[in-house]
A and B are shown apart, each in its own frame.
Chain A
Amino acid sequence: MSATTLSRPAPKSPASRAARQFFSNKLAVLGVIIVVALMIFSFIGPLIYQTEQVSTNLLQADLKPGEDGHPLGTDGLGYDVLGRLMVAGRTSILVGLAAGVLATILGTLWGSVAGYLGGWVDATMMRIVDAGIAIPGIFLLLVISAIVRPSEWMMILIIAVVSWLVPARLTRAEALSLKSRDYVLAIKATGGSNSRAILRHIIPNTIGTVVVNATFQVADAILLIAYISFLGMGLQPPSTDWGAMLTDGISAVYSGAWWLIFPAGIAIVLIVSAFNFIGDGLRDMFDVRGRS
């Protein structure tokens, strides 16, 4: 029997396995492509396609697509719709990302503290979460928007304030399970502080849940901005976002001015769908139970 050398592929790192898992999900890849494309469109686009998006120009109002050098026409105040779509996208994506991330951080910290400490602390903290969830988020948003003057930073804060409850619950459930693991018990036994246990062991081990949820939070936040703006309580002009553009367009629906509705509406559907696809892919990546 001749000696045979069996060549085995080098074992892949967990990161590359995860990446392969993620990229095997075609919808997730499509989601990434869409998000990247919309980011380039919204953040780099205005540098290439420069339009006036601060001062109105009523003499150029309500132009149809192609007229007077406006590929997507103009709106009722004379803003170039293509340029406005870029500026609005910047707001929607920026506020959505920041609010989603902030809500996730808040929720993760809250949930992990409650779950790890347990007892009356857990009971108190989670009753607050329950109470918050019982109040419709959109209602809170509209009330707060009516009280404070909406700016981009204020919108981020407001949306984060109503969005952190779900990640708090998810993280708390994870923390409840993790705190009985040996490595966490060992920290306690060696006199390690609660904050060390939470920051070094609980939170890092919930990262899968947190990251997946974060993508949905971003999608949620973008939708919430759209809702608020659609109801006329969003950013002050000349700032805008895709939801505000949709609101402006609604008054033109019977006039057949599709360029005031289609682009912003499609952009919202695309970005929200894309973040959901990415979240789906990430969940597959972190979820070992369903993997063959």
Chain B
Amino acid sequence: MSNDRKRLKVGLAAGITAFALLLTGCAGSGNSETPKSSGSAATVPAGVDTNVVNYALPPNATPNWILPIGIAGKMATHNSSIAQSLWSPMFTFDGSKGEMKLDLETGIADKMEYAADGKSVTFHMRDMHWSDGTAITTRDVEFWFNLIKANKETWGGYKEGRLPDNITNIDYTDEKTFTLTFDKVYNQDWLNSTQLTSIKPLPHHAWAKTSDEGKVGDEDRTAAGAKAIFGYLSKSSEDMASYATNPLWKTVSGPFTLGAFDNAGKTTLSKNEKYDGPDAAQVTTVNLLPFTSSDAEVNLLRSKGIDYGYIPTSMIDQQSQFESLGFQIEPWKGWAITYMPYNFNNPKLGNTFKQLYVRQALQSAIDQPTISKVIWKNGANPVYGPVPQDIPSPYLSESQKNNPYPYDLEKAKSLFAAHGWKAGADGVLVCEEAGAAENQCGEGVAAGTKMDLTMMVQSGSDEADKQFAAMQSSFRDIGVAVSFDRAPLNTVLNRTAPCESDAPDCTWEFSYFGAAGSWYFPAYPTGERIFSTGASVNFGNYSNAEADKLMDEALTTNDPKTMQDYSALLAEQLPVMWLPNPVYQVSVIRDGVTGTTQDPTANFFPQRWGWNK
């Protein structure tokens, strides 16, 4: 072997270390303190232009749709947030003010009243105007309804049986009042948060035409006319190069107008000086900056090119470093839960997973508070049930909130011991008492079944790797052996699907895809898509008739107790293994920036950002 090659090898070895050492040498001393709240009260740094806020969009999140009626593939939250800052909705239902709730103070609706029978709702609109001075009226609401009725198959928010199918009549009482009648009584929170928030008055006087030079008319009142108008508007929305110049998009009702839009997706919002609603912009310009990677974003953040950005969760313990640069770190909690499904149809261990005591024992061996604090550096929060619990809400039961299965290894061991499991020579539990009696392993669990589990885990997250190493250690202490099958997120998701036990692809036992949260809910967090019998995203084939009934009722009753009962039931029944829920993003906000209360449903509100003057 040549000396050159040898030198190269030594050089490579030295290189790995030198690279690491160099980085270490460059690093300041860090700590793992709990992140503090927004730096809104801090003084504005010298030299900052207080008329401008620069906001970093998530990696690869390039705005690509401006029409406030989203279509499939264009429903990303950054698109809807931008549209919402240009065209105000009737009202919002989100957590943008610190709590998940109905917000009638910032939209076009001044008031909404449900009829006593709950089958209809009446809206009263504020006296507001389009940016060209025309009044916003119920004709603009009718225009929106006409467009989505005629184009519901194209509208990304459509699901059969829901808006507009579930509305039997719309009565436009006058220019500022209209009433919607539903086909049956629905839960009002569900209606408000998932259905009625979609309503968005659109400028009939400017958009009801089928070409740039076309004449505005009432063609939207026929299905064919509404289709033609929608086709024209959609085509215009596909022409991203003309966003900033197309006169269509100049007629707005929101706190901003579109100032500029470039090919890379950089979007400049300019204050709408004609806006006369209650949610006016605080600064004259907001720049929404796109990035191809979080590394690129962090680099610009360090050079102070961003006022409101983010860092990867793995950097959350570098708080002091960013504070010394004049930023505050504020985790953005998501309206989400994180969990790992059990495959109840797994041919080897499915029957074992069906035993509640097994799930209780495993859940009792997960120290979620410590994992959240030490491993996620408070960038995740414990989850004990099916309702998001990072944000206060009326849907959360006391049982879920208080964790029915706190970390207790002795209890976990005793649960197994009481059901006929004994440790083998290798320390791993084996079922010795097969049978369905109280002191036996349970129905369908064969004698000799070993608690030797394989968890399919998404790769690429340092925190997730550490979390599972800690879980593996705790499980080992109670006699449960765990090994991991690591794969990229898309591979894990492809291999995780509801299956029958005799299917060849049903061999997975557990699947973790939650390094950025497993499931993000709409504002009303019913779990029919993930926990109801036969649901498409009920990966593990969990089935519980009582839970199914509660989930159905939750859509049609107004009693919040139904959601609380559902929360308590699944917190206790453990349809999945509950795990710490990582934040949506770790926001890094420049000192002096105000109005950054972060909406758990991941929308952003540029009109509320400003500087502490």
In the bound complex, residues from chain A placing their C-beta under 8 Å from that of B476 are 54-55
Inter-chain contact B20/A55, CB cutoff 8 Å:
no
In the bound complex, residues from chain B placing their C-beta under 8 Å from that of A246 are 16-17, 20
List residues 163-216 of chain B with CB under 8 A from any CB of chain A. Answer: none
Inter-chain contact A279/B24, CB cutoff 8 Å:
no
Q: Which residue of chain A lies nearest to B14 when distances are taken between CB atoms in the complex? A: A269
In the bound complex, residues from chain B placing their C-beta under 8 Å from that of A269 are 10, 13-14, 17
A253 contacts B by Cβ under 8 Å: yes
In the bound complex, residues from chain A placing their C-beta under 8 Å from that of B470 are 56, 58, 77
Inter-chain contact B16/A58, CB cutoff 8 Å:
no
Looking at B26-34, B148-156, B508-516, the stretch in contact with chain A turns out to be: B26-34
Inter-chain contact B485/A149, CB cutoff 8 Å:
yes
B299 contacts A by Cβ under 8 Å: no
B371 contacts A by Cβ under 8 Å: yes
* A254/B318 contact (C-beta < 8 A), A219-B9, A238-B472 known: yes
A230 contacts B by Cβ under 8 Å: yes
Q: Mark B230-245, 1 if CB is under 8 A from A, else 0.
A: 0000000000000000
Inter-chain contact A56/B473, CB cutoff 8 Å:
yes
Q: Which of B3, B21, B469 contacts A77 (CB 8 A)?
A: B469
A213 contacts B by Cβ under 8 Å: yes
* A265/B472 contact (C-beta < 8 A), A62-B32, A216-B6, A220-B9 known: no
Inter-chain contact A265/B6, CB cutoff 8 Å:
no
> Binding site of A, secondary structure by majority: helix, strand, loop or mixed?
helix
Q: Which of B10, B314, B367, B374 contacts A272 (CB 8 A)?
A: B10
Q: Which of B16, B26, B462 contacts A230 (CB 8 A)?
A: B16
A285 CB to closest chain B CB, in angstroms? 15
Inter-chain contact B10/A273, CB cutoff 8 Å:
yes
In the bound complex, residues from chain B placing their C-beta under 8 Å from that of A226 are 13, 16
Inter-chain contact A268/B17, CB cutoff 8 Å:
yes
Q: Which residue of chain B lies nearest to A262 when distances are taken between CB atoms in the complex? A: B21
Inter-chain contact B483/A149, CB cutoff 8 Å:
yes
Task: Tell me, in angstroms, the Cα distance from A249 to B370 when the chains sit together.
Answer: 21
A96 CB to closest chain B CB, in angstroms? 12
* A223/B318 contact (C-beta < 8 A), A56-B470, A58-B375 known: no
A11 CB to closest chain B CB, in angstroms? 32
B436 contacts A by Cβ under 8 Å: no
A59 CB to closest chain B CB, in angstroms? 7
How many A-B contacts are there with CB distance less than 8 Å? 129
Task: Tell me, in angstroms, the Cα distance from A12 to B472 when the chains sit together.
Answer: 60
B459 contacts A by Cβ under 8 Å: yes
Inter-chain contact A232/B6, CB cutoff 8 Å:
no
Inter-chain contact B13/A255, CB cutoff 8 Å:
no
Inter-chain contact A238/B314, CB cutoff 8 Å:
no
Inter-chain contact A254/B321, CB cutoff 8 Å:
yes
List residues 203-220 of chain A with CB under 8 A from any CB of chain B. Answer: 212-213, 216, 219-220
Task: Tell me, in angstroms, the Cα distance from A265 to B14 when the chains sit together.
Answer: 8
Inter-chain contact B21/A265, CB cutoff 8 Å:
yes
* A58/B477 contact (C-beta < 8 A), A237-B472, A265-B17 known: no
B529 contacts A by Cβ under 8 Å: no
Q: Which of B1, B10, B27, B484 contacts A256 (CB 8 A)?
A: B27
B46 contacts A by Cβ under 8 Å: no
Q: Which of B318, B367, B460, B483 contacts A255 (CB 8 A)?
A: B318
A195 contacts B by Cβ under 8 Å: no
Most B C-beta atoms less than 10 A away, residue of A246, A256, A261:
A256
In the bound complex, residues from chain B placing their C-beta under 8 Å from that of A62 are 32, 374
Task: Tell me, in angstroms, the Cα distance from A236 to B485 when the chains sit together.
Answer: 10
* A280/B6 contact (C-beta < 8 A), A238-B472, A268-B16 known: yes
Q: Which of B29, B370, B485 contacts A58 (CB 8 A)?
A: B370
A10 CB to closest chain B CB, in angstroms? 36
Task: Tell me, in angstroms, the Cα distance from A236 to B3 when the chains sit together.
Answer: 35
Inter-chain contact A256/B24, CB cutoff 8 Å:
yes
Q: Which of A213, A250, A276 contacts B10 (CB 8 A)?
A: A276
Task: Tell me, in angstroms, the Cα distance from A62 to B29 when the chains sit together.
Answer: 13
Q: Which of A54, A58, A230, A253 contacts B371 (CB 8 A)?
A: A58
A136 CB to closest chain B CB, in angstroms? 14
* A58/B1 contact (C-beta < 8 A), A216-B9, A238-B473, A262-B21 known: no
Q: Which residue of chain A lies nearest to B5 when distances are taken between CB atoms in the complex? A: A216
Q: Mark A138-176, 1 if CB is under 8 A from B, else 0.
A: 000000001001000000000000000010000000000
Q: Which residue of chain B lies nearest to A237 when distances are taken between CB atoms in the complex? A: B469
Q: Which residue of chain B lies nearest to A213 when distances are taken between CB atoms in the complex? A: B1
In the bound complex, residues from chain A placing their C-beta under 8 Å from that of B462 are 248, 251
In the bound complex, residues from chain A placing their C-beta under 8 Å from that of B484 are 236
A222 CB to closest chain B CB, in angstroms? 8
A76 contacts B by Cβ under 8 Å: yes
Q: Which residue of chain B lies nearest to A271 when distances are taken between CB atoms in the complex? A: B13
Task: Tell me, in angstroms, the Cα distance from A212 to B2 when the chains sit together.
Answer: 11
B461 CB to closest chain A CB, in angstroms? 10
Inter-chain contact B466/A254, CB cutoff 8 Å:
no
Task: Tell me, in angstroms, the Cα distance from A236 to B370 when the chains sit together.
Answer: 22
List residues 301-319 of chain B with CB under 8 A from any CB of chain A. Answer: 314-315, 317-318
Task: Tell me, in angstroms, the Cα distance from A59 to B371 when the chains sit together.
Answer: 10
B545 contacts A by Cβ under 8 Å: no
Q: Mark A225-255, 1 if CB is under 8 A from B, else 0.
A: 0100010100011100000001011111111
* A59/B472 contact (C-beta < 8 A), A216-B6, A269-B14, A273-B10 known: no
Task: Tell me, in angstroms, the Cα distance from A230 to B462 when the chains sit together.
Answer: 12
Q: Mark A98-113, 1 if CB is under 8 A from B, else 0.
A: 0000000000000000
B23 contacts A by Cβ under 8 Å: yes
Task: Tell me, in angstroms, the Cα distance from A231 to B134 when the chains sit together.
Answer: 61
Inter-chain contact B1/A212, CB cutoff 8 Å:
yes
B12 contacts A by Cβ under 8 Å: yes
A266 contacts B by Cβ under 8 Å: yes
Inter-chain contact B29/A276, CB cutoff 8 Å:
no
* A223/B12 contact (C-beta < 8 A), A58-B370, A253-B24 known: yes
In the bound complex, residues from chain B placing their C-beta under 8 Å from that of A55 are 473, 476-477
A244 CB to closest chain B CB, in angstroms? 10
In the bound complex, residues from chain B placing their C-beta under 8 Å from that of A219 are 9
Inter-chain contact B13/A223, CB cutoff 8 Å:
yes
In the bound complex, residues from chain B placing their C-beta under 8 Å from that of A236 are 483-484
For this complex, 9 residue pairs linking A to B, each with C-beta atoms less than 8 Å apart, are A58-B370, A146-B487, A238-B472, A257-B30, A258-B24, A261-B24, A268-B13, A276-B9, A279-B1
Task: List 9 additional contacts besides A254-B28, A255-B31; criterion CB under 8 Å.
Answer: A59-B370, A220-B9, A236-B484, A252-B30, A254-B26, A254-B30, A258-B24, A265-B21, A276-B10
The 10 closest A-B CB pairs, nearest first, are: A265-B17, A255-B30, A253-B23, A56-B473, A272-B13, A237-B469, A254-B27, A256-B29, A58-B374, A261-B20
